[in-house]
Amino acid sequence: MTPTRRADTPTTARSAADAVRTSVSGSGDRFWKHSDFEHLSALGVATELSRLARKGELQRVRKGVYYRSAPTAFGPSLPAATAAAAQALTVPVHPAGLSAANLLGLTTQNPLRTELATTAAKPPTALANASVHTNRPAARKRLTAREGAILEVLRDRANTSDLPPHETAQRLLEALAQERTYQRLAVAALAGEPPRVRAMLGALGQELDVPDRLLTRLRASLNPLSRFDFGALQALRHAPEWQAK
């Protein structure tokens, strides 16, 4: 059942503002919409999102949609116009290619056309100006944009990174070390990502000392006779144990 929005009174508006401020300040780079706070006072939500935009803590990208940036090696992350348009979609969309590498702070480059990936069979018409990779595994539906971007970088063997191999690996390790990120990606990878992605996740996970049960499942999913091109991640300490060429 959809939660009922609370009536607009001074008290509920203040409570809503407090809740919005706490949620935004505790988040990484992501989009925020009024609909993210449907159970709160509409007046309080709108007022606080506007206030945070005036303070520079959020960027207003279009009506009802705001963006919170995160620091990267190249300065604050920026929302692509196409990515902002993607917020209106009902199908999951993640950054891909150079767009994914840029989101993760691996490059300053942006493609001429924003690159995205979706679980849909066809590119959404709202993303006509983007380069969209379709038919990604359905398990990605529960991932955040950043988590999806990590999988896309691994699909590309991290060759979209402009950083030296050891710095590329370190940034991915830092991203994967965030709470439950590795676990969520390991589960998603087992549900349809290419074997090379599962192998690279295994090598990264071993370096992070993640629980053996996750590594065991990833290893069991690989053909022991196969060898995988790890690209820019070839120098990972445990790459040979994960069948890197």
Relative to beta strand 93-95, strand 75-76 is unpaired
* Token pair of 113 as six digits: 């056309």
Contact present, 79 and 61 (Cβ < 8 Å)? yes
pLDDT along the chain (245 residues), means of 10: 52 82 81 82 89 87 76 56 57 87 87 85 78 92 89 97 96 92 96 97 97 95 97 95 97
CA-nearest of 42, 67, 1, 52 to 22 is 52
Q: Torsion over CA of 230, 231, 234 and 240, rounded to 10 degrees?
A: 30
Domain edges within the chain = 10-68, 78-242
Q: How many CB atoms lie within 10 A of CB 43?
A: 17
pLDDT of 1 reads: 46
Beta-bridge partner residues of 66: 32, 60
- What single-letter amino acid sits at 212? D
Cα(47)–Cα(45) distance, integer angstroms? 6
Residue found by looking up tokens 């549900």 in the block: 191
> What CATH number labels 10-68?
1.10.10
Report DSSP state, residue 172: H
